Structure 1
Amino acid sequence: MNLIEYEAKALLSAASIPTPKGVRITKRQSDAPFLPAVLKSQVPVGGRGKAGGIIVAKTEEEFADAHAKIFSLAIKDHLPKSLLVEELLSISKEFYLSALVDRDSMSIMILANRHGGIEVEDNHDFEHWTINDRSDADTIGQAIADYYQLPDKTFVLQDIIERLFDCLVKNDATLVEINPLILTDDGKLIAGDAKMILDDAASFRHDWQFEATAAETNFVTINQEGNVATIANGAGLAMATVDAAYAAGLTPANFLDIGGGASTETLLAAFERIVTYPNVQAIIINVFAGITKADEVAKAIVAAREQIDTLPPLFIRIAGTNYELAKKILDDAGVSLTPTLEDCLFAAKGALDA
């Protein structure tokens, strides 16, 4: 699940990471809560600044104009339901900082760049550190202070790293990104913008009340010549599915995390993309339903079988929210389920070896 900025910043604030003073407003709230202010479109995608979704207002008239403009501006097909109005910071420097689950090393990584902001994707000189627990924060904070060339902010950065790690782990996030991490003219380090992705597979551990927005589908080609494709929800479950396929002697063509809140249309699009791989002879589906409901997955499976002539055999494990409804949908369509991922992989291996 991809959080909207105001939701991510609420979790950062709860972890005691400094954020700008801000107020979330709806379309009906057109009066400025304070001035000067920065109005920011609250949509679950990047590129807001370049698209015109972030505007500085210094007068009531500018605020009203910005309010009307942003609420009518669709960014990547998303119209905002609310705006985040924040204090205008005096910026000295902007940095990049994030914590994420790294599949390759099976660890949590801290990433940093001396240059943050809207052009960060053009930077290639990222530094990274593995963090195993909170005790590593002091060493990493010292290294980042040196890297940022902010020796007088060593203690502050050590605290931020510790809290960033805590925020990632406590919330079952796969990514907590601060971009930019702002150094203000008066020497404060503040999270100017935030992005957070939560692992949908961990939703049963939380009483999440966030806007139901799906994370952008994480579809990665691993091996164009692979003999099986994988579909899972949540980065952790998707990684585990790919690793289990390798362990079973299969060659995954892809890594696919369908995210939280995936719809029948989203899932059908994933199937259509998978059948473009030339050697895929089976699809492994491993879903623990939470925000992504089991019946939505079942409907997509039925639709894919009806609409895609070249669809290879499906080996399906589903559990969680609306499982009974999903089972009925699949039973009615003559599609069988397997109780565990191991059973899926065993059956798929047998089919490929036949």
Structure 2
Amino acid sequence: MKKEMSAIEAKYEAQKIAFGPMFFQSVIALRDLGILDFINSHRKGVSIDTIVEKLDVSEYGVHLLIEAAEVLGVVEVVADKVKITKTGFFLLKDEMTRINVNFMNDVCYLGAKSMTESIKKGKPEGLKVLGDWPTIYEGLSILPEPAKKSWFDFDHYYSDGAFPEALKIVFKNRPKTIFDIGGNTGKWSFACCAHDPDVRIKILDLPVQLKVAKQNATEKGLLERIDFHAIDLLNTEQKIPQGADVIWMSQFLDCFSKEEIVQILKNAWQAASPETTLYILEPFFDNQNFPAAQYSLVATSLYFTIMANGNSKMYSIKVMKELVAQAGFEVVNTYPLIGDSYHSVLECRKTIEA
């Protein structure tokens, strides 16, 4: 049975929330000023005087940040020596943590204050700190740095790890033509071309994204095998063309509301033949092995609210299957947490009239 939290403990947890933004930025400063890395290089500990002497940071600044880091459990101070903790090590060296920190700091932090207005209006009111677009997707290729790099690092990290196993699933029946819906920079399409020398790909996305994908395909010499189809899937007049053996959606549907997801899937339904297979790759927040993964995915939903489009989120696997059914597809196979990833694949077939 879970121990009931005391009033004192609850009050402490509340203060963590109250001062959370300040402590987050203190860790950014520790990292960017080189203090955390310097402490990590001295495994037996290092004095604050040595940190001040070796780094171009004032004694005041070092003391301030070390005190914050000690409260957070990022460092510990023993006998006047500062040592990095396991938490500090992960903040400094763990790839997932580094990518998440950069994404929050460079993409989301300044816009987060617009959370209330974003929820009230159903629009990403925080996005204006990066640019003047209705959603972040129109501006991805021209985001200011470092937001652009941090956004793509985040997106690719949470999809690329799933690709090796996903390729085995998608190519088990040797499809000849794959439609990559919301193909973004083209990474999945390029992986398909490398996996099967005979497959043909059509990337469907917004024109601004296709420009980037086409440039990348040109550099890789893949223009003879990859076609490009400009489409705004929120426009009901624009239809996905027919002719695909496989329709692939990778970390795509979480960019839309439930109503929009059904609309997009119905568009896929009209394009699909009875032999077409629809694959949906998503990191479902209720289908994770570790608390850190679920925590990160729920936080990502908040990013969608304030920065991306104001109405989408990370979904549970149960909800996604319900939306698939509403659009006239049946989930015929579920591949949970494939490979070394946080993703599951839903394999779907067209069934009833949508």
TM-score (norm 2): 0.31
Alignment TM-score, normalising by the size of structure 1: 0.31
